[in-house]
Amino acid sequence: MKFRRSIIVLIALIIHALPSLGQDKKSCGEGFSDPVRYVTRSTMYGVGFTNVFDTYLSPQEYKGIDFRISRETMRMTKLFDGNVSVQNFFQADIGYTHNRADNNNAFSGLANWTYGLHYQFRLTENFKLLAGGLFDANGGFVYNLRNGNNPASARAFVNLDASGMAIWHLKIKRYPITLRYQVNLPLIGLMFSPHYGQSYYEIFSLGNAGGVVQFTSLHNQPSLRQMLSVDLPIGDTKMRFSYLADLQQSNVNKIKTHTYSHVFMVGFVKNLFRVSNKQAISLPPALEAY
């Protein structure tokens, strides 16, 4: 008897939900033609080579291995008649390096987040060029395992970047491939840097913080990030293989630094469709998973 009552209640709830389901499906169908709701998201993991140099810690270069993870989303917007896309990119890396004499080691790490807009010039149906700007924020460290007084150096800087992309959709014997090249060039920004020989104790405990934040541009921070990637469908999954050249360098407060990283990355790409609360299909609470 209880089982029959449960079946009757469930059927009644489904019948009650059918009209609203029909209306919501119609509204969702209209939304599927809106390119603004399509999001391309990728998560990637990589390993490569890094070269770290920081005269605050040592006059020597340190070379070794770099481990990196990245996450990216791209989607179209309604700006300029729907010709502008937005990119949100985050990456973080950890490096383990050694000096030329191989008698000392260092750890380094940097988290980088960029967010910006690109105008899309659609030259053909399958090839387009993108040009725009990015906000570029960075924070990290270099830790020298043998230094006594100043074993670590902090990295903190923000930039406004010029950014460009080329995206090509092609087929090789009906096999779809997507190629992309992107380059980001920091133009102006701000960087935190102690003076040469100044300890962090002086800055944060004694308050001697004058001049530790400096304006940067191409003359004292000539840097570049560029990436080449290829997207390949493998079964029901789309995979991305990429090469990243992350070339960061600076000469601020008489301290010279550089981090040159060359990383090969692999990951997965997902194409998602965003549904707003108004367009989401409404189910009775008894039928929802949450």
Please report the pLDDT score of residue 150 as a whole number. Answer: 82
For 235-259, how does the pLDDT look when each residue is reduced to its tens digit (9 = 90+)? Answer: 888 999 999 999 999 999 999 999 9
Please report the pLDDT score of residue 213 as a whole number. Answer: 97
Averaged over 71-84, what is the pLDDT? 94
Does the pLDDT of residue 86 top 70, yes or no?
Answer: yes
Does the pLDDT of residue 134 top 70, yes or no?
Answer: yes
Count of other CB atoms within 10 angstroms of residue 235 = 6
pLDDT averaged over every residue in the chain:
88
Does the pLDDT of residue 6 top 60, yes or no?
Answer: no
For 43-77, how does the pLDDT look when each residue is reduced to its tens digit (9 = 90+)? Answer: 999 999 999 999 999 999 999 999 999 999 999 99
CA-closest candidate to residue 252, choices 150, 105, 134, 154? 154
* Tokens at 255, concatenated: 């301290």
Quote the distance between the C-alpha of residue 126 and its chain's center. 24
Q: Beta partners for 161?
A: 134, 186
Please report the pLDDT score of residue 24 as a whole number. Answer: 45
* Tokens at 236, concatenated: 């029901």
Please report the pLDDT score of residue 36 as a whole number. Answer: 80
Distances (CA, A) of 183 to 154, 163, 220, 249: 26, 6, 19, 16
- Tell me the residue type at 62: Y
